[in-house]
Amino acid sequence: MNGIDGLQIGIYLAAVLLPVVPLGAYMARVYERRACGLDRWLGPVERAIYRVSRVNPDEEMGWRGYAGAMLAFNVLGALAVYAIQRVQHLLPLNPQGLGGVSPDSSFDTAISFATNTNWQGYAGEATLSYATQMGALGVQNFVSAATGMAILAALARGFSRKLDASIGNFWVDLVRGTLYVLLPLSLVLAVVLVSQGVVHSFEPNRVVETLEGAKQVVPLGPGASQIAIKQLGTNGGGFFNANSAHPLENPTPLANFLECVAILLVPAALCETFGRMIGDRRQGWALLAAMLVVFVPALVACALAEQHVSPAISALGVEGGNLEGKEVRIGVVGSALWATATTAASNGSVNAMHDSFTPLGGLVPMWLMQLGEVVFGGVGSGLYGMLLFAIVAVFVAGLMVGRTPEYLGKKIEPFEMKMAAVGILVSACVALIGTAIAVVAPAGRAALQARGPHGFSEALYAFSSAANNNGSAFAGLSANVPFWNVSLGIAMWLGRFWIAVPVLAIAGALAAKKSVPPSAGTLPTHGPLFVVFLVSTVLVVGALTFLPALALGPIVEHLAMEAPR
């Protein structure tokens, strides 16, 4: 990389990190139900929502009640998205006259957006009406993101409370996260994106004449509002099939930069939020440092891999890196930056085709997902996933010195360890078992565009993306068929809620415990030593779990590419 590339990465990291303290402090006030500056305007709306829905905001829940409300809400949300897709031909705001979506595709998409995965096996502009995009997908973009943030807030209360049977009220956390955090941020970003030329219209598609005299259909629709929340909520589903490579989704360098910053904005700031909610900001900064220790080297590795071309292509005198599947206006480093950010943050939007990355360049985003989406991860879900690894890390440290492990003043006992193990291992099991079935089943292999190591990588990437609720894909996979729609839908559901429920169980168990004062044997969890120990735990678990599978896919493909001809 040259100096300009390094400067681009440096400016990006600065833009992500500078808002961490003010935005994180603001979100802490939101979840602690303190004045946050928008109460004068949004407070009446919040109270009206509670009245209409008959929710008592002052009534708190134990972890089982919290988990039950969360699951019921998301099940109903998935059913609503499914129904809207099936009957969209009967609904208004359908100027293209699009028909109802097939049952298997509707099933996949409904689960995808309810789980904050936003995997898409269809072309949005040719499949979904404006009513479906807004009333189904757009709504889920907000509430699925708010669900992850609510679970994190509940876990923070579990650490901060003592001898308490409750961890908050799911309905209050859901409403406040949506109303005070996601809506204002999305409104501001949407207005800026419209100023940059991002499409936002209710008019039908336009037919225009190109410079060559051919006719071309230009898709329109209410895109800017959906694109803003898809980035801020780590959703990632594209309004158009080409996603963030589409010039009507991502038209200018400023739009590209702001959308890419928005991917990590809230997940990074939630580290500060967590630190404030537990009363020790240093703990939040330690978690953020652990994320950066993994993210920055991964970003550099991906950029370097994409600036390298195979010996066969290099022999032809090709320079400038691997530009296949990339927008020339965005470039190699800009594409690598987005690919790393979107897979680190469980976002899934793309401004380049990951299927066209070099084997090692494609390995980086795949591996970031396989770590459990804890390097920033989804809004809320990434941080509570990292906290599961922190619990494992202090447990291992306790075994080393022969004492009961403690984290943030709470003893970590067998129940917390069992729940943490379930939360960490479920997504890995789903990804690996799903991949194995897909490459053996004829219906699974039929959708793979490639054979050999790259075909295996397509399947592994798809299930890694689904099980970890990312949503990006190696686009060589033709996934909009019953086998893949059903299997990936199941993987997305398990990857979301078989982690969320154990996290809430941990929150409930911790809230019921008394606080243990630190002693001479307590491991400090806010310093460099713990950061290194936490990162090592994440990397060791990821390496032991997925290295054999990666060796069958991108690693062997790289060795074959570099082999002398």
Cβ atoms within 10 Å, residue 222: 19
Element (H, E) at 215: strand 215-218
Q: Which residues contact 51 (CB under 8 A, 6 or more apart)?
A: none
CA atoms within 13 A on the CB side of 288: 24
Residue with tokens 């690693």: 555
CA atoms within 13 A on the CB side of 217: 9
Q: Which residues contact 455 (CB under 8 A, 6 or more apart)?
A: 439, 445, 448, 449
CA atoms within 13 A on the CB side of 139: 15
Tell me if 437 sits within 8 A of 461, measured CB to CB. no
- pTM, to two decimals: 0.95
Predicted local distance difference test score (pLDDT) of residue 317: 67
Token couple for 81: 């998205």
DSSP 360-406: HHHHHHHHHHHTTS-SS-STTHHHHHHHHHHHHHHHHHHHHHTS--E
Domain boundaries, given as residue ranges, for the chain: 21-271
Per-residue pLDDT of the chain (565 residues; tens, 9 = 90+): 788 889 999 999 999 999 999 999 999 999 999 999 999 999 999 999 999 999 999 999 999 999 999 999 999 999 999 999 999 999 999 999 999 999 999 999 999 999 999 998 888 888 999 999 999 999 999 999 999 999 999 999 999 999 999 999 999 999 999 999 999 999 999 999 999 999 999 999 998 888 888 888 888 999 999 999 999 999 988 888 889 999 999 999 999 999 999 999 999 999 999 999 999 999 999 999 999 999 999 999 999 999 987 777 777 666 778 888 999 999 999 999 999 999 999 998 999 999 999 999 999 999 999 999 999 999 999 999 999 999 999 999 888 877 778 999 999 999 999 999 999 999 999 999 999 999 999 999 999 988 899 999 999 999 999 999 999 988 788 888 999 999 999 999 999 999 999 999 999 999 999 998 887 777 889 999 999 999 999 999 887 899 999 999 999 999 988 776 6
Give the max Cα distance, the chain: 79
- Pairwise CA distance, residues 211 & 68, whole Å: 58
Element (H, E) at 44: helix 39-53
Tell me if 39 sits within 8 A of 30, measured CB to CB. no
Element (H, E) at 10: helix 3-17
Element (H, E) at 410: strand 410-411
Token couple for 547: 């290295």
Q: Name the residue among 148, 113, 138 with its Cα closest to residue 27.
A: 148
Predicted local distance difference test score (pLDDT) of residue 479: 86
Element (H, E) at 465: helix 452-467
Tell me if 258 sits within 8 A of 351, measured CB to CB. no
Helix, strand and coil in the chain, % to nearest 5: 65, 5, 30
Q: Name the residue among 284, 234, 383, 408 with its Cα closest to residue 24.
A: 284
SS3 of residue 448 by DSSP: strand
β-strand partners of 217: 207
Predicted local distance difference test score (pLDDT) of residue 101: 95
β-pair type (406-407, 215-218): unpaired
What is the per-residue pLDDT across 129-152, written as a single tens digit (0 to 9) for each? Answer: 999 999 999 999 999 999 999 999
What is the per-residue pLDDT across 30-59, written as a single tens digit (0 to 9) for each? Answer: 999 999 999 999 999 999 999 999 999 999
What is the per-residue pLDDT across 355-389, written as a single tens digit (0 to 9) for each? Answer: 999 999 999 999 999 999 999 999 999 999 999 99
Dihedral of alpha carbons 22, 28, 30, 34, sign: negative
Predicted local distance difference test score (pLDDT) of residue 565: 63
> Amino acid identity, residue 383?
L
